[in-house]
Amino acid sequence: MTTTPEITTPPKELKPAKVGSRSSIAWPLGFLGVAVLIFVLNQWILPEASADVQSGFREWLPMSAVNEAVLWAIFALGLNIVVGYSGLLDLGYVAFWGIGGYVAGWLMAPFANQVAPQWNNLKISVWGHPLPGQDYGIHLNFWLVLIIAAVVCALAGVVIGAPTLRLKSDYLALVTLGFGEILPEVFRNGERVGPNGAWNITNGTKGITPVDQIGTGPFQLIPGVPDLLGPFDLTWKFIVYGGLLALAMFVSLRIREGRLGRAWLAIREDELAASMMGVPLMRTKLSAYAVGASFGGIGGVCYATHVGGVLADRFTFSVSIILLAMVVLGGMGNVWGVTIGALGLAWINSTGLSKFGDVYNDVTGGNVNFASHNFLIFGAVLVLFMLFRREGLIPETRTKQVLQEPERGEIESLGAEMEGTAEDTAAEGAHK
């Protein structure tokens, strides 16, 4: 007696992603609405609210945490270009964050006159806005430094990527991990370099402080807009950082739909097939590294203005892992998913865990410090996502379809089963 094997449902045909659909408008409008709501709430509504309401918002949603989350989102979008678009696993992205920060420290602070003894009287200003009494050193305008940091980081990405991008998968991850560990060590030990230790290029673990204020340029002509944004102008800085995040999202989306973005996706899907179709692998990979690194440079300058300085101890390996978790949990390759993942994880890491811990301890009478277990919690969540939702919270359509496809082994076994069924049917017919 011949048994008929169970035939598995064939894989669904991949559908092309819709371009210009309603969701492509809904997401930008949604983000714009949330940004306007946060600004209006903090600028005009909360100052008139009761003390209890103000205290509640300051504890659960402080503007410093909101601004920091926006900056994390810029970094995550840069890493998404490398990992999500091009499929290049990068475990050292924090290095570009550090380079961007130190560009701000060199060009927007009094630190330059400490670099060498002969620079003691150095005083350069190009539309800079130093703090009162801090006008020595180099002071370039914030917007100029953004461009310079983006270019410097893009060049650094090309220089570092040229010898390393010939590697694949785990080997590339290990090399980028080493790169991400070496540069922070250079920052920490760059206080005495050169002949007789005469050069101070990073100020070591003391870091570089203070960093200049942000000039608002022609926008100061608008009534109510200050001409300079200092350390405590958090609500107005939110506009600056939010605008740069919107620019990063726009660039990511436009490149994604262009020829370069399609080449990145082709390499991510199948590097051999991409090369056979004429995609220049090395040049395309380097462009992904350069664009992603430039986002890190812009974010690094913004972060320096956010915290008022550059500190080498902040650029640790854990930062790269948190950024990778933001990309993976949000949805690799999807700009909106990565942005939401970054904003959510950044808020949980800075504020959410400690506040939820306070609530838990108040209810149960316990004494658990949730914030100190952040890596354990993030690691467990990451493992669960890898097991049950590999595509992330809001995955890219193409990524979701690919991850839900049967593995090659399943397809081969399906073909073998169908072939066996056909042979059995033919044999039964011949026997009859």
Mean per-residue pLDDT over the chain, rounded = 85
The rounded distance, in Å, linking the Cα atoms of 274 and 259 is 13
Sorting pLDDT into bands at 50, 70 and 90, what band is 104? very high
Helices (H), 169-211: 169-188
Residue 177 CB coordination number (10 Å): 17
- Tell whether the model's pLDDT for residue 12 goes beyond 90: no
Is residue 412 very low, low, confident or very high in pLDDT (cuts 50, 70, 90)?
low
Asked if residues 122 and 113 have their Cβ atoms less than 8 Å apart, the reply is yes
User: Tens digits of per-residue pLDDT, 240-264?
Assistant: 999 999 999 999 999 988 899 999 9
Q: Nearest 5°: CA angle at 67, between 226 and 35?
A: 80
Residue 2, pLDDT > 50, answer: no
Sheet of 108-109: strand order equals 108-109, 137-140, 123-126
Beta strands in 300-383 (DSSP E): none
Residue 411 is predicted with a pLDDT of 52
349 vs 353: CA distance, rounded Å: 6
pLDDT, average across residues 4-15? 50
pLDDT at residue 241, as a whole number: 95
Query: How far apart, in whole angstroms, are the C-alpha atoms of residue 61 and residue 52?
Result: 14
| The pLDDT of residue 84 is above 60 | yes
End-to-end CA separation in angstroms for the chain = 13
Vertex 218 angle, CA 41 and 62, to 5°: 25
CA distances from 137 to 3, 130, 200, 224 (A): 84, 10, 14, 31
Cα 130 to Cα 201: distance, rounded to the nearest angstrom: 20
Question: pLDDT tens, 292-306?
Answer: 999 999 999 999 999
In the chain, pLDDT over 70 holds for what percent of residues?
A: 87
Q: How far apart are CA 292 and CA 327, in angstroms?
A: 13
pLDDT at 1 over 80: no
| pLDDT value of position 24 | 65
CB atoms within 10 A of CB 244: 20
In DSSP terms, 215 is beta-bridged to 228
pLDDT at 22 > cutoff 60 = no
**282-288 mean pLDDT:** 91
- Which residues, including other chains, have CB under 8 Å from residue 220's CB and lie 6 or more apart? 226, 227
For residues 329 and 345, the answer to whether their CB atoms sit within 8 Å is yes
The residues facing 193 across adjacent strands are: 199
Q: Which helix (H) or strand (E) holds 162?
A: helix 142-164
Q: Does residue 157 contact residue 99 with C-beta atoms inside 8 Å?
A: no
With 90 as the cut, is the pLDDT of residue 424 above it? Answer: no
* Dihedral sign computed on CA atoms, order 314, 390, 289, 148: negative
d(CA 299, CA 309): 13
The whole-model pTM stands at: 0.86
Segment among 24-28, 132-136, 397-401, 415-419 with least mean pLDDT: 415-419
Q: Which two tokens stand for residue 328?
A: 């993976």
- Can you tell me the mean pLDDT for 382-393? 84
pLDDT of residue 166: 75
User: pLDDT category, 404, cuts 50, 70, 90?
Assistant: low
Please tell me the distance from the alpha carbon of residue 270 to that of residue 272, in angstroms, as a whole number: 6
Segment holding 7, helix H or strand E: none
Q: Which of 285, 380, 378, 397 is nearest to 337 (CA)?
A: 397
User: How far is the C-alpha of 114 from the C-alpha of 35, rounded, in Å?
Assistant: 40
Q: Between 159 and 418, whose confidence is greater? A: 159
Look at 205 and 194; give whichever has higher pLDDT: 205
- Percent pLDDT > 90 in the chain is 34
Residue by residue, DSSP assigns 267-301 as: HHH-HHHHHHTT--HHHHHHHHHHHHHHHHHHHHH
The contacts of residue 337 (CB under 8 Å, 6+ apart) are 330, 331, 392, 393, 394, 395, 396
